[in-house]
Amino acid sequence: MNYEKFRTKYRNILVTGGAGFIGGALIERLLKFTTSKIYNLDYMGYASDLSRINLLRESSLRHILLKTDLSNKNSVYDAIKESSPDLILHLAAESHVDRSIDNPDIFINSNIIGTYNLLEAAKDFWRNIPDLKKQNFKFHHVSTDEVFGSLPDNGKFNESTPYDPRSPYSASKAASDHLVKAWNYTYNLPIILTNCSNNYGPYQFPEKLIPLIISKLIARESIPIYGDGNNIRDWLYVEDHVDGILLCCNEGIPGQNYCIGGYGESTNNDIVSTICDIFDQKSNIKKSSRKLISYVKDRPGHDRRYSINSNFISKQLNWHPNYSLEKGLELTVDWYLNNQEWCHKVVKRANYKGERLGTN
């Protein structure tokens, strides 16, 4: 990754959702490896947390939090005006499928209306900036492979897979992707779109599968596997995802979409068992924690399989993941074992007690 090139192009960066899991990893990287000013637009919702950014000493100088709700159009215009961005990295989204089943409203507002407001504010800003800044400007929209629907036992998603979302969450992300593409096609706004597979790693809010399992293991509570546990996800370590996003901003072609997968396909059964074994080894537990696994009622509309073919981004931008699933899981289990206070803090603030969500 050529950070020198990045630094010269993007001095002011507006990151939306920078207090979230992927956004936090991205901002940490930007603060460590660039000299850019980072404006972090985040509404500081239930899963937002700034611990990771606050650990970096330079954060107070180059990191500016703009506590803004994307569904408020005037505030979004104000945020763009204040940050005068060379690059917008749009990561803000409600992202938990189970919560989208219980309460789709929030997903429609944040993911669809929020993206629309940001696109409009970005377009109006971009049209009125000097030529050089206009040439370099990019709007990078971070999305998910879930917009492509569910795969059978074979095949993989790629850049030309048709959209077929099935949950309120994936439908809201698909809608936002369509808006982003339309603003590129109709108004020439220089957008880049990435669709990633399931992210995991440190600082993920413990409602998603991997941190939830680790939290349950630490608490010695039963581990809920939905349905028969043979659903497949393609796990991507968050740092590899950050590499992909930055490469796309540096070298990507405006108007292009890129798929970023982790080469980490696993059934839920396999990943849960592996995490139990890593946990037992690290915590010196003699009786296998696998006995905590329990099969619970399936998620409504549970997608069977996701898998990404990452050949395009590998060939075009020389992106390759650095973390195997085994290595990533080990690092993640270690991190949660050593950061239980962080977990307690964030779940308490969100009033989340590890209960089952999304059964409506």
Which active-site residues does the annotation give? 145-146, 169
Tokens coding 10: 């993007």
Q: Select 189 or 232, whichever has its Cβ closest to ligand TYD.
A: 232
Contacting ligand TYD (CB under 6 A), which of 39, 137, 226, 279? 226
Query: Could you tell me how many residues of this chain bind ligand TYD (CB under 6 A)?
Result: 12
Q: Select 294 or 340, whichever has its Cβ closest to ligand TYD.
A: 294
> Binding pattern to ligand TYD, positions 113-132, x when CB under 6 A?
--------------------
Q: Is position 198 an interface residue for ligand TYD (rule: CB under 6 A)? A: yes
Q: Is position 47 an interface residue for ligand TYD (rule: CB under 6 A)? A: no
Contacting ligand TYD (CB under 6 A), which of 40, 115, 231, 273? 231
What are the Cα distances from residue 328, in Å, to 60, 144, 268, 325? 30, 20, 16, 5
Contacting ligand TYD (CB under 6 A), which of 212, 218, 285, 331? 212
Q: Select 35 or 294, whichever has its Cβ closest to ligand TYD.
A: 294
Query: 33 φ, ψ to 5°?
Result: -115, 0
Tokens coding 290: 């696998």
The CA distance from 267 to 271, in Å, is 6
Q: Which stretch binds ligand TYD (CB under 6 A): 4-12, 25-33, 106-114, 224-232?
A: 224-232
Q: Is position 63 an interface residue for ligand TYD (rule: CB under 6 A)? A: no
Q: Select 73 or 96, whichever has its Cβ closest to ligand TYD.
A: 96
> Binding pattern to ligand TYD, positions 91-110, x when CB under 6 A?
------x-------------
DSSP of 92-151, one letter per residue?
-----HHHHHH-HHHHIIIIIIHHHHHHHHHHHHHHTS-HHHHHH-EEEEEEEGGGG---
What are the Cα distances from residue 318, in Å, to 5, 32, 247, 307, 328? 16, 22, 9, 20, 21
Contacts of 130 (CB under 8 A, 6+ apart): none
Q: Which stretch binds ligand TYD (CB under 6 A): 32-40, 222-230, 286-294, 310-318?
A: 222-230
Contacts of 172 (CB under 8 A, 6+ apart): 93, 94, 100, 104, 107, 108, 110, 111, 112
Q: Is position 346 an interface residue for ligand TYD (rule: CB under 6 A)? A: no
Q: Is position 241 an interface residue for ligand TYD (rule: CB under 6 A)? A: no
Q: Is position 329 an interface residue for ligand TYD (rule: CB under 6 A)? A: no
Tell me which residue of 207, 201, 269 sits closest to 232, measured CA to CA.
269
Does the CA dihedral 14-123-104-295 come out positive or negative? negative
Contacting ligand TYD (CB under 6 A), which of 37, 63, 208, 241? 208
Residue type for position 251? E
Q: Select 78 or 270, whichever has its Cβ closest to ligand TYD.
A: 270
Q: Is position 225 an interface residue for ligand TYD (rule: CB under 6 A)? A: yes
CB of 198 to ligand TYD, least distance (A): 5
Q: Which helix (H) or strand (E) holds 273?
A: helix 268-283
Contacting ligand TYD (CB under 6 A), which of 268, 273, 307, 332? 268
Residue type for position 125? F
- By CB under 6 A, name the binding residues for ligand TYD: 97, 198, 208-209, 212, 224-226, 231, 233, 268, 299
